[in-house]
Structure 1
Amino acid sequence: MNHCVEHIARILRVDKNVITDLETKLNKATGKAGVFEDIYNENEKLLDNRLEVLKLSYQSSASEVYNALIGKVRVDDAKLFEAMGIFSVRVPDAAEKIAEFVSRMHKPNKGLFLKKEKAAQLLAAEPPKKILAALGYKNVEAMLQKEDLLEVFSALRFLEDSEWLNGTFFKQYENLKPDDFEERPIELRALSSRWIKAAEKFVAKKYHNVSHLKEMGVIFIIPIFSGIPGETLRLVSLLLHYLNEVEYYSELFQRYQSDEKVFANNVISLLRGDVLEKRTPELLVGSENPRFLVVQRYLAKDDENDWRLFEPRINPEALHWQRAEEQLRVVNNNNGNGGFKFWAGLGAVGDFFPTEAGVDILVSFNIVDTVMALVREKELLKYLYHHQEALWNKIFIGYFGEEKLRKISQDNILRGWFEI
Structure 2
Amino acid sequence: MRLPPIRPDSTKQIQVLHVDDDPSIIDLTETFLEREDDRICIETAASATEGLERIVNCSHPPDCVVSDYDMPGMDGIDFLETVREEYPEIPFILFTGKGSEEIASHAISAGVTDYLQKRCGAEQYELLANRIQNAVQSQYQRQRADRIDELMRLTELAGDTGGFEIHTDTGEVLMTDGCRRLAGVSDDETLSLEEAIELYHPDDQPKVRQTVSQATDMGEQECESWRLQALDGTERIVDVTLTPAEVDKNKYNTNANTSIGAADKSESHAGDVAKMLRGAIHDVTDRHHREQRLTKLNGVSKDLLTAKTQQEVVKIGVNAGRDVLDFQANAIHLTEAGGTQLVPAAQTDELNIHVDEVPTLSVSDSIAGRAYRRDEPIVVEDARQHPDTHNPETDLRGHVYLPLDNYGIFIAGSEKKASFDCQDLAFGELLAGDLIAALDRIDYNKTD
- The structure with higher relative contact order (CA 8 Å, sep 6+) is 1
> Do the two structures share a fold, i.e. TM-score over 0.5?
no
User: Which is richer in strand?
Assistant: 2
Larger radius of gyration: 2
Q: So what's the TM-score if we normalise by structure 2?
A: 0.23
